[in-house]
Structure 1
Amino acid sequence: MKLKVTGQNRGFSILVLVAACLLLLSACSSGGNGSNGAATSSQQSVANDATSGGSANEGAQSSEPVDIIWWHAMGGEMGRAVDDLVEQFNSSQEGVRVEAVFQGSYDELLNKMKASFGSNAVPAMVQMNEVSSRYMIDSGEIEPVQTFIDQEGYDLDKLEPNITGYYTFDGQLYAMPFNTSNPLLYYNKDMFAAAGLDPESPPQTFEEVYEAAKTLTKDSQTGIAIAISPWFTEQLFANQGALLVNNGNGREAPATESLLASEAGMKIMTWWKQMIDEKVALNLGRKTADTKKAFVAGQVGMIIDSTAGLKGIVDSVGNQFEVGTGFLPRPADGAPGGVVVGGGSLYILKDATAEQQQAAWEFMKFLAEPEQQAYWHIQTGYFPVTPLAYELDSVQQNMAEFPQFQTAVDQLHATTLNPATQGAVMGVFADARESVANAIEQVLTGAMEPEEALQKAAEEIQAQLERYNMTNG
């Protein structure tokens, strides 16, 4: 049936059309959702565009991309690399727009994230350091990435198992690895050669490090300097195959006891204190920046530092001497172990909308691709989280320019994944590390004997664990 428009009913028809348009607009505006609501079909299609590389989907489509905020803790050169990756992603597709926001240190970021829970200020995605894993899970505020892995059958085999292993609990991957490191022994090859040591054979055990430090110490140079870093202590535990806390390093059940004062802890502190007492090692305090400066200046022959600092150390040394790298040492009679991945990973927050969560997942997958991981590795010194990145020309060229990186890769791949090398997890890691740092200072300054200091710190950590476990059920 056709409506005949005459001069008399033309005005009425226009009114009918206007009313229909207003009703349609009202229906569209009421289709939005709150912070926890489900995505509308139009909004979901935008997120789906990113999954399919921008291909057309059935149904209505929004012309606006899904905006997500990413809070991170990468400053300086690393922050600029983050911004470059975000720009690459935003330029590669039209369905998602990411805004990266630097929030300071990991501790500052964690506090800001806690304050954002349940508010409109919550980001869709956050970067968090590895030792916050237990808290992130217990908070109930994250959506495990396993949810998205299962939904689309994402192939986890393309990622490094020794890296995903840290963030896997009860068969569920909770966070997507992003920036990963472990510690190395750095040494001055020229100083080794001048002292009659083989510059191509770095010490591998506590005993060999001690002997090398004695040989290197003379005049104004000292054998070694190790920063008072609890992270190094945790790594030296894992490298002996030793647990830091009970219940399978807190992975079989919540940790209730610190094992800091165990045989592994005693070996570490006895070795370290002996070198300090005999003046073949320097105590330069807690800042790794200070041990790096001493190494670059040729004041010490060896240091322990993160792989993430490798490029910066080599660049700072320049042509002064040749930098060598070796595996993290262990006691000669210690059980086989390995290193624990450090750095951080990416979490999706539950307070984000469904389409924002999906958009964050698309961005995470982009960051984990070989090309992006190759760029990130070359710019920052962090490991690629996918071994496929090592096949790219850019990474191979970087390895040729900085052969010291090969040591880091070999050390990672030589590590067998077990509860010790997966790493300890506890919801009070920040406080626990403070107790460990205090204990190390008391031992190295002679204020306490190793056993007394370690036992005191272990008791403090156990009290912290008890409070945390009570609060978290």
Structure 2
Amino acid sequence: MTRNWLLNAAFSVGALALATAPALAAPTKFEFWYGLSGDLSERIQDMCKDFNASQADYEIVCVSQDNYESNLQNTIAAFRADKQPTITQISDGGVVDLMLSGAYIPVRQLMEENGYDIKWDDYFSGIASYFSTSKGELLAMPFNSSTAMFYYNTDALKAVGFDGAPQTWQQVEKIARDLKAAGYECPVAFDPTGQWQWWEQFSAVHNQPIASEGNGYGGLDAVVEFNQGKFVDQLTWIKKMYDEGLFVVKSKATGETANDAFVNAKCQMTSSSIADHGTFGKQAIAGMHWDVAMLPLQEGSERTNSLVGGAALWTLKGKSPEEYKGAAAFYAFIATPKQAEWWSTVTGYIPVTNTGYQAMVAKGFYNAAPYKGRELAIKSLTFTPPTEYTRGVRLGNFGAVRVEIQNAMQDVLFNNVPVQQALDTAAERSNAVLRKFEQTYKGVALP
């Protein structure tokens, strides 16, 4: 018998009582839970209002759970209590948890059963593969997709004689030293809890394994491998930069995030998601000039494609046929070229389909000053065909593994724990997480 966190949830379908004529019936309500906050949450609320205004049959109720991990845990708890939403936004790190739960309706099945003909091969392969089975069946609706980028203050760099984007981390070091010598207190804003860009994306663009079995795609018996290879050298370099005051820690714990420090021109370089491009454009202080580039490489390395970040929309079991019709209508709504362009415009998330991207290119979208540079995220994601280490990460309870990396990075920086020791400890603890997950799903194969 398959064991998972959702088996005890009852499948219930509420009866719809029509007491009035069909023309007077209230729209079918259904819930959508998501893991974004701040400006991005406000944009989702705008999207939901637009969907409700576009038709009269359905009313989507969109509820923020603040962040991805909270949304995953709240979704689990809600399903156990038979109070789950119809749609939930699950990030790349929670894919295996949903995939093995059996708690969802595959998106292709949902759309076909409700009469929608979607060109699934139009979705960028690097995006679709993250949320697909090994046979290529897409299980969830791609929604907000991104990748990590490098942001820099062009005026500050020009002030120390550097024009353009740094291509290597060695160039970043040279620029940082020159900035420090010129009186800039924070050359690079660094958040040690931002393991997504500093570790996962670094590993991808250098084609480095995060785990065996092709980063977990080959089976639940994978073990982590981040305590060997180029990431060991990179964390050693980051520690050196930190000790010399060239990397300055900015995070919620310090009272000012790396992004806030950058848009206020207190720090001159940082790494963040392309999804923050729109927010940076709105929040950058008056007179500040900045640009964005693909992540730098270690000297002598060949670039491979970066990982897609963000999340997809999963349709959960246990809801009524009418709610599923509403979910399908919402998916069709967000898949329209008009809506896709709006979403990419107001956020910075990339279009998830090739035709959507090409339509925006044809309209000159990426030539307009507020959006120039966002096309580099597509270039980064498609720089090479996905390798076994750049198609994604498919590890159970990956959120806990990410926490171990965060702890290792902080131990290295703040507690002077040797890099290899910190990463070996993180690897040991991460493998314990993976073995526990494997035991929970003993005998179950990844689809």
Per the normalisation by structure 2, the TM-score is 0.86
Answer yes or no: is 1:168 the counterpart of 2:132: yes
Answer yes or no: is 1:336 the counterpart of 2:293: no
CA contact (8 A) 2:263 2:285 kept: no
**Residue aligning to 2:166:** 203
For structure 2, which runs of at least 5 residues remain unmatched after alignment? 1-9, 443-447
Deviates more, 1:463-472 or 1:287-296: 287-296
Size of the aligned set, in residue pairs, is 421
Name the CA shift for 1:269/1:83 in 2 (closer, same or farther; >3 Å). Answer: same
**Residue aligning to 1:368:** 335
**Cα shift at 1:432:** 1.1
**Cα shift at 1:188:** 1.1
Distance 2:28 2:191 in 1: 44
Deviates more, 1:209-218 or 1:343-352: 209-218
Distance 2:246 2:51 in 1: 50
**Residue aligning to 1:159:** 123
Provide Cα deviations, 1:360-419, integer angstroms capped at 9, x if missing partner. Answer: 122112112211111111222211222433425997457503213233333233253233
Answer yes or no: is 1:245 the counterpart of 2:211: yes
Distance 1:334 1:158 in 2: 31
**Residue aligning to 1:142:** 104
- 2:143 counterpart SS class: strand
**Cα shift at 1:36:** 4.3
- 1:172 counterpart SS class: coil
**Residue aligning to 1:8:** none
- Which residue type is aligned with residue 400 of structure 2? D
- 2:210 counterpart SS class: coil
Distance 1:286 1:410 in 2: 31
Answer yes or no: is 1:116 the counterpart of 2:116: no
Provide Cα deviations, 1:164-204, integer angstroms capped at 9, x if missing partner. Answer: 12111222211111111111111111111110112x2x111
**Cα shift at 1:138:** 1.5
Answer yes or no: is 1:465 the counterpart of 2:434: yes
CA RMSD, aligned part only?
2.8
CA contact (8 A) 1:415 1:421 kept: no
- 1:420 counterpart SS class: coil
CA contact (8 A) 1:349 1:357 kept: no
**Residue aligning to 1:97:** 59
Deviates more, 1:248-257 or 1:151-160: 151-160
Structure whose alpha-carbon radius of gyration is higher: 1
Name the CA shift for 1:440/1:446 in 2 (closer, same or farther; >3 Å). Answer: same
Name the CA shift for 1:118/1:453 in 2 (closer, same or farther; >3 Å). Answer: closer
**Residue aligning to 2:418:** 449
Name the CA shift for 1:339/1:364 in 2 (closer, same or farther; >3 Å). Answer: same
- Counterparts of residues 57-456 of structure 1 (less than 5 Å): 63=25, 65-148=27-110, 153-170=117-134, 171-198=136-163, 200=164, 202-218=165-181, 219-228=183-192, 229-232=194-197, 233-285=199-251, 290-390=257-357, 391-392=359-360, 396-397=364-365, 399-402=367-370, 403-445=372-414, 447-456=416-425
**Cα shift at 1:286:** 6.5
Provide Cα deviations, 1:440-471, integer angstroms capped at 9, x if missing partner. Answer: 01112352111111111000000011111101
For structure 1, which runs of at least 5 residues remain unmatched after alignment? 1-33, 44-59
- 1:445 counterpart SS class: helix
- Counterparts of residues 5-16 of structure 1 (less than 5 Å): none
Percent identity of equivalent pairs: 26
- 1:180 counterpart SS class: strand
CA contact (8 A) 2:110 2:324 kept: no
Provide Cα deviations, 1:246-280, integer angstroms capped at 9, x if missing partner. Answer: 11111121253111101122122122122123332
Name the CA shift for 1:446/1:109 in 2 (closer, same or farther; >3 Å). Answer: closer
Deviates more, 1:133-142 or 1:79-88: 79-88
- Which residue type is aligned with residue 450 of structure 1? V
Distance 2:42 2:248 in 1: 34
Provide Cα deviations, 1:106-133, integer angstroms capped at 9, x if missing partner. Answer: 2222222112225442211111222111
Name the CA shift for 1:399/1:102 in 2 (closer, same or farther; >3 Å). Answer: farther
Distance 1:297 1:80 in 2: 22
CA contact (8 A) 1:146 1:173 kept: yes
Per the normalisation by structure 1, the TM-score is 0.81
Deviates more, 1:121-130 or 1:278-287: 278-287
- 1:185 counterpart SS class: strand
Name the CA shift for 1:117/1:446 in 2 (closer, same or farther; >3 Å). Answer: closer
Deviates more, 1:428-437 or 1:205-214: 205-214
**Residue aligning to 1:24:** none
Distance 1:360 1:308 in 2: 24
CA contact (8 A) 1:159 1:386 kept: yes
Distance 2:120 2:334 in 1: 14
Distance 1:142 1:221 in 2: 50
- 1:321 counterpart SS class: coil
**Cα shift at 1:86:** 2.0
Distance 1:376 1:395 in 2: 16
Name the CA shift for 1:283/1:89 in 2 (closer, same or farther; >3 Å). Answer: closer
Name the CA shift for 1:72/1:312 in 2 (closer, same or farther; >3 Å). Answer: same
- 2:130 counterpart SS class: coil
Distance 1:240 1:324 in 2: 23
**Cα shift at 1:230:** 1.4
